[in-house]
Amino acid sequence: LAKTTQPISMDSYEGQEVNITCSHNNIATNDYITWYQQFPSQGPRFIIQGYKTKVTNEVASLFIPADRKSSTLSLPRVSLSDTAVYYCLVGDAGGYNKLIFGAGTRLAVHP
Amino acid sequence: GAVVSQHPSWVICKSGTSVKIECRSLDFQATTMFWYRQFPKQSLMLMATSNEGSKATYEQGVEKDKFLINHASLTLSTLTVTSAHPEDSSFYICSARAYHSGTRDTEAFFGQGTRLTVV
C-alpha cells in the first residue's frame, strides 16, 4: 500500500481557496487517489476520488499531475464549516481492499 | 450514497465488562467490513477486516481475543471489546465498501463511530 505524506496542519480564512497537497511517490498503476473529510467525533466522509488529471465535483477539485506522485485537493471559498481533518488515501478502487489512513491534514478556517 | 450505521453512538462501561458495537450496512450488502479505532488527535488505525461467514483478519498488534469480531450476515458486523479497561477507551469506527453501479470501483462508507469510555 502506497504511503502518503501531507502537511500536518493548515490555516485559512473564510472565502479563500485552500489547496492541500499529498505526496504518494510509490503509487501503483491500479491505485486511485481518494480524499476524505472527518469532523470531530464522526466517521470520515468521502470527498473526491481520481486517477489522473483533474476531477471536479460539487464540493472540491482534485488535481493529479502526469506522474501521479502527488495530488492536490482544492476547496474553493472555504467556510467555517470546512474546519476538519482531511485524509489523502491511495489504493486500488476495485474490490474490498482495506484503507490505511495517514496522519491527515488538520485544516482550521478562521473568520 | 450507501449508508453504514453504528450502534451505539457512545457507551460508558465499567472496567472488566464487555461491550458490543454493531455495524450495519443499511442499503447494500457488505461481505467485508473494516474496524478502526481512533485516539484523540490521531488518525484512524485499522484493527481488523471482518469477513462474512469466516474469521476476521486482524492487523499486527491487535489482540484477537480482546476484540472479538462476528460477521454473521451480509449486513451486520459486530465488535466486542472483552474485559474492557480504561486504555480501551477510544473512538471505534466501522467501514464497508459498496460498488458504484455498473463499475468495478468501490467506495468506502463509514459509520458515525462509537465513543467508548471505560471507567
Reported as a single tens digit per residue, the pLDDT across B93-105 is: 999 987 766 666 6
Judged by a CB distance cut-off of 8 A, whether residue B74 touches chain A is no
pLDDT > 70: percent of chain A: 95
- Cα distances from A99 to residues A1, A9, A78, in angstroms, run 9, 22, 27
Q: Name the residue facing A93 among B32, B46, B105 (closest C-beta).
A: B105
- Cα distances from A109 to residues A13, A21, A48, A96, in angstroms, run 5, 17, 20, 34
Rounded CA-CA distance A35/A7 in Å is 14
Q: Which grid coordinates are listed for B21?
A: 458495537
Of A38-52, A90-104, B20-34, the range with the lowest mean pLDDT is: A90-104
pLDDT exceeds 60 at position A1: no
Q: In the prediction, which pLDDT does A19 show? A: 98
Q: In the prediction, which pLDDT does A97 show? A: 78
C-alpha angle A77/B4/A94, rounded to 5°?
80
Q: Name the residue facing A96 among B6, B93, B106 (closest C-beta).
A: B106
The mean pLDDT of A12-30, rounded to a whole number, is 95
Rounded CA-CA distance B75/B94 in Å is 12
Q: In the prediction, which pLDDT does A48 show? A: 93
Reported as a single tens digit per residue, the pLDDT across A63-107 is: 999 999 999 999 999 999 999 999 999 987 666 678 889 999 999
Question: E strands along chain B, which residues?
Answer: 4-7, 10-13, 19-25, 32-38, 45-51, 57-58, 67-73, 76-81, 90-99, 106-110, 114-118
The mean pLDDT of B75-79, rounded to a whole number, is 95
Q: Name the residue facing A96 among B1, B97, B111 (closest C-beta).
A: B97
Q: Which residues of A touch B (CB under 8 A)?
A: 32, 34, 41-46, 49, 87, 93-104
- Selected for mutation to probe chain B from A8, A49, A96 (highest B CB count within 10 Å) is A96
Closest CA to B65 of B74, B56, B73, B53: B56
User: Could you tell me which chain A residue has the CA closest to the CA of B38?
Assistant: A41
Mean pLDDT of chain B: 92
A99 contacts B34? CB cut-off 8 A: yes
The mean pLDDT of B48-68, rounded to a whole number, is 94
Rounded CA-CA distance A28/A94 in Å is 13
pLDDT > 90: percent of chain A: 85
The mean pLDDT of B69-93, rounded to a whole number, is 95
B46 contacts A43? CB cut-off 8 A: no
How many C-beta neighbours within 10 Å does residue A36 have?
23
- Selected for mutation to probe chain B from A98, A100, A101, A105 (highest B CB count within 10 Å) is A98
Q: In the prediction, which pLDDT does A66 show? A: 96
B105 contacts A100? CB cut-off 8 A: no
The mean pLDDT of B73-92, rounded to a whole number, is 96
Residue B95 with chain A: CB contacts under 8 Å: 43, 99
pLDDT exceeds 80 at position B2: no
pLDDT class of B31 with cuts at 50, 70, 90:
confident
- The H or E element spanning position A62 is strand A61-64
With H, G, I as helix, E, B as strand and everything else as coil, classify residue B87. Answer: helix
Does B70 or B104 have the greater pLDDT score?
Answer: B70
pLDDT exceeds 60 at position B86: yes
Q: Which grid coordinates are listed for B34?
A: 473494516
User: Could you tell me which chain A residue has the CA closest to the CA of B94?
Assistant: A43
Does B85 or A91 have the greater pLDDT score?
Answer: B85
Residue B12 pairs with which residues in a beta bridge?
Answer: B117
Contacts of A31 (CB under 8 A, 6+ apart): A2, A24, A90, A91, A92
A100 contacts B46? CB cut-off 8 A: yes
